[in-house]
Amino acid sequence: MPVTDWLLFALLLIPAAATLLPLYGHDHWSVRIFDFPRQQIILLGLAALLCTALFRHSDSFLLSGAMLAAAGALVWQLVQISPYTRLYKPQVLSYRGADDGRTISILAANVLTPNRRTELLCRQIDQYRPDIVLTLESDAWWETQLAHLETDYGWTVKVPLDNLYGMHLYSRLPLRNAQVLYRVRDDIPSIHAEVCLPGGDWIHIFCLHPMPPSPTESDTATERDGELLLVGREIAAHDYSCLVFGDLNDVAWSHTSRLFRRISGLLDPRIGRGFYNTFHAGWWFLRWPLDHIYHSNDFMVSDLQVLPHIGSDHFPVYGKFQYRPRVEKHQPEPEIHEGDHAEAAEKIDAADPIHERERVEYPGAAPPAGPQSKQP
């Protein structure tokens, strides 16, 4: 083949290889990183096919085979992301009624520890007035800067850390049984609490920020996958009415995210509505959905938005949800596949969980109670 055709051949192999590598199932970051840029792989595949169609100089079988491989990769990638387009039926029903005491709104923001644009986040909190604010990567400096929120948000869980995994939870709504949990590492916290909706219903919330697979953090996705699946298994075991939110350091369409939803029975309000890309805020050409709000099938969605830039590498995400237990029959839980429980157990065991807990107590709060199941 001419040199031009060899270059086209190499270009065609990139989207094909980027598609095949994650199917291998290895946990190393160099493999799992290709779970993220599916939209970019599609664009690269289209560009490679177009260039080959315009500039090829031979009828080489090798080049034609590479074109078929790139086209197959393109189709496969489109199938993976298609649920997050308007072509799909929304998984979660929209709620258009008035607030009735069963509404909860959440603003979750990875603030980026060295970021100092606190006024941008505070402006969004003032504008949207969410019931719950979760900050991630927040350290002691951020805690000081956000101290004024406690005038309106009287229930807080504060875990200031300078390792990029601090988190702060601010709630207008009463909390009980709040715990800071270290599920797989003693320096990676998560929060589990019960929240009382204005009408008196208690629901559970899980705030997460597991470590991603990357050359600068974790060599593998083992611990991230294990933490997500630990939470999913706990939710399923207790049949919680709950919301799970935070920077999960995984994309919505990855194998692990889909397994998490099947294991937990949680729904994704983005399905049928859009990508809601939150990272990277500074690179428009490399963006994907890393910040998530999942919920049990007894919630409807009133609002879901990615908010403007706050100086971080993540955009904040805002969601407003209506607790409506009777809607469960119209929003079935994801169908679990044969082997899902075994796979989840294997991934959890590989993460070698430590299960450390710190209980958070509140003067005057409701007395501690055991885990609650979904309410009729």
Give yes or no for a contact between 227 and 212, defined as CB atoms under 8 angstroms apart.
Answer: no
Please check whether residues 118 and 155 belong to one and the same domain: yes
* Among candidate residues 51, 84, 117, the one where a domain is terminated: 84
Q: Which residues pair with 221 in a beta bridge?
A: none
Whole-prediction pTM value? 0.92
What number is the average pLDDT over the span 36-63? 92
For residue 349, the surrounding DSSP H or E stretch is helix 340-351
Same domain, 138 and 51: no
On the question of pLDDT at 320 being above 60, the answer is yes
How many Cα atoms within 13 Å fall on the side-chain side of residue 35?
28
The two tokens of residue 140 are 């002691």
Check residue 58 and give its pLDDT.
Answer: 85
Same domain for 177 and 34?
Answer: no
Residues 242 and 324 in one domain: yes
Please tell me the distance from the alpha carbon of residue 102 to that of residue 17, in angstroms, as a whole number: 48
SS3 269: coil
What pLDDT is recorded for position 367? 42
Q: Which token pair is 126?
A: 């003032």
Asked whether residue 109 falls in the same domain as residue 72, the answer is no
The residue whose two tokens read 């935070």 is 246
The answer to whether residues 159 and 62 belong to one domain is: no
178 and 211 together in one domain: yes
Residue 366 covered by a domain: no
Contact at 8 Å (CB) between 354 and 338?
A: no
Q: Return d(Cα 220, Cα 84) in angstroms, integer.
A: 26
**What CATH number is associated with residue 148?**
3.60.10.10
Is residue 127 situated within a structural domain? yes
Q: Which of 16, 50, 84 is the last residue of a domain?
A: 84
Structural domain of 109:
103-360
Taking the alpha carbons at both ends of the chain, their separation in whole angstroms is: 69
Distances (CA, A) of 223 to 51, 75, 174, 220, 333: 41, 31, 32, 7, 26
pLDDT at 368: 40
Residue 97 located in a structural domain: no
154, 337 contact by CB (below 8 A): no
Question: Is residue 224 assigned to a domain?
Answer: yes
Strand order of the sheet with strand 155-159? 155-159, 167-171, 132-136, 103-110, 317-323, 299-306
Pull the structure tokens for residue 242: 């709950």
| Distance from C-alpha of 265 to C-alpha of 235, rounded to nearest angstrom | 8
pLDDT score, position 249: 96
Same domain, 260 and 114: yes
64 shares its domain with 134: no
Identify residue 80 by its one-letter amino acid code: Q
Where a domain ends, among 57, 84, 111?
84
Task: Tell me the per-residue pLDDT of 150-204, one tens digit each, with 9 for 90 and over.
Answer: 999 999 999 999 999 999 999 999 999 999 999 999 999 999 999 999 999 999 9
Instruction: Summarize the confidence of residues 301-330 as an average pLDDT.
Output: 98
Are 155 and 174 spatial neighbours (Cβ–Cβ below 8 Å)?
yes
Q: Tell me: do 227 and 147 sit in the same domain.
A: yes
Do 141 and 78 sit in the same domain of this protein? no
pLDDT band, very low/low/confident/very high, at 371 (cuts 50, 70, 90): very low
Q: What is the pLDDT at residue 269?
A: 98
**Would residue 368 count as lying in a domain?**
no
What is d(CA 128, CA 132) in angstroms, rounded to the nearest whole number? 11
322 neighbors 295 (Cβ within 8 angstroms): no
Residues 124 and 56 in one domain: no
pLDDT digits 0-9 by tens, 76-87: 999 999 999 999
The predicted structure's pLDDT at residue 363: 55
Confidence of residue 313 (pLDDT cuts 50, 70, 90): very high
Domain count, the chain: 2
Asked if residue 213 is part of any domain, the answer here is yes
pLDDT at 373: 43
CA dist 69 → 6, 60, 76, 110, 326 (Å): 15, 14, 11, 38, 47
263 close to 347: Cβ distance less than 8 angstroms: no
226/222 Cα distance (integer angstroms): 6
Tens of pLDDT, residues 127-139 = 999 999 999 999 9
Tokens at residue 226, please?
């294990």
